[in-house]
Each structure stands twice: as structure tokens, then as C-alpha cells.
Amino acid sequence: MARNPVQKSKEANGAASPPAQEGIDQVRDLLFGGQMRMVDARLQSLDERLSHETSALRGDFDRQITELDASIKKELAGHSERLIAERTKRVDDLKALNAELRESLRSLEKRHNSLEEAAGQSDAELRDTLLKQSAALTSDIARTSERLGSELDRITSQLQADKLDSSALVAGLTELAGRLGGSSSAPAKKTPRS
């Protein structure tokens, strides 16, 4: 309880006698007692109200903190679930893409092998065709060469036969000329056949 100025000055001057003190307390109680009780009651009421308001604020604050904590946990749980779902979806997508890439790679390898086989087969067929054409051309050239050789031999033989005939003709004409000229006694020289 707060001390009034009169009480402070008395305490400062020294302790008053106990009976006088009681009298002063009674006078003071008569003069200021109602106001002091009213002030005390107001202070007590303010104290209770402040305590009640503090408790209410603390309770409200605790409730809001609890609600905020629950809301944050709920949000985090939702985000966590979405992240897990997205991660799972991406893992599945990556697995599917990986399988698709493997299948594409197998398909490309098969296509490459089939193209290599086709190219090898085409090369073999081309080689066979070239060999056949080369053999056919070689055969044609050999036949043409034989034909030309035999034709050349025939022409050579004919030319030699014609040459012999002309020398025989010359000899015969010489002999004829000698007979016509009257000297049939000297026979003409025969030219050797070549």
C-alpha cells in the first residue's frame, strides 16, 4: 500500500509514540480511508483485469501459434506430398524415356545391321554381276580375237595364193611371149614360190 506524505514525514522525523501513532492512523483512516480503499479496490480490479487480459492474450496467442503451427505443418505436408508425387512421376517418366531410348537404340542397331547386310549383299551382287560381265566380255573378246585371227589367216592365205597365181601368170605370159617371139627353144625360168 502506498504511503502518504504525512506518514513519510513522520517516519523521517523519528518514530512517533505508539498511542500517538494509533491516533494518527485513525485520523488518517477517517480522512483518507474511503479513498484509499477505493484506490486499493481499483488497483486490485486493475490487477485482476490485467491478469485476466494477460491470460486471455496468452491463451489467444497460444491458440494462434497452435493454429499457425498446424497450418504450416499441413502446408508442408501438402508440399511434401506434391514433391513426392512429382518426384515419383519424374522417376517413372525417366524410366519410360530410358526404356524408349533403349528400344530406339535396338531398332537403330537392327536397322544398321540390316543396312549393312543389304549393302554387303548389294556389293556381292555387284561383284557377281561385274565378274559375269567381265567373263562375258573376256569370252566375247576371245571369240572376236579367234574370229579375227582366223579371218586374218584366211586373208593371208588368200593373199599368198593370189601372189602365187600372179607369179605363175607372169611365168606363163613370159613363156607365151617367148613362144610368140619364136624362141620356143629357151624355156622361161620359173620363179620360186614363196
pLDDT of residue 113: 92
pLDDT of residue 88: 94
**Between these two residues, 104 and 25, which has the higher pLDDT value?**
104
Q: Each residue of 8-24: pLDDT tens digit? A: 445 544 455 677 888 88
Structural domain boundaries in the chain: 5-14+39-146
pLDDT of residue 98: 93
The total number of residues written for the chain in this structure: 194
- pTM as predicted: 0.37
Q: How far apart are CA 35 and CA 37, in angstroms?
A: 5
Q: How far apart are CA 108 and CA 123, in angstroms?
A: 22
pLDDT of residue 164: 62
Distances (CA, A) of 62 to 38, 90, 163: 35, 41, 144
Q: Each residue of 55-65: pLDDT tens digit? A: 999 999 999 99
Q: Each residue of 64-122: pLDDT tens digit? A: 999 999 999 999 999 999 999 999 999 999 999 999 999 999 999 999 999 999 988 88
Average pLDDT value over all residues in the chain? 81
Of 173, 175, 177, residue with least CA distance to 187: 175
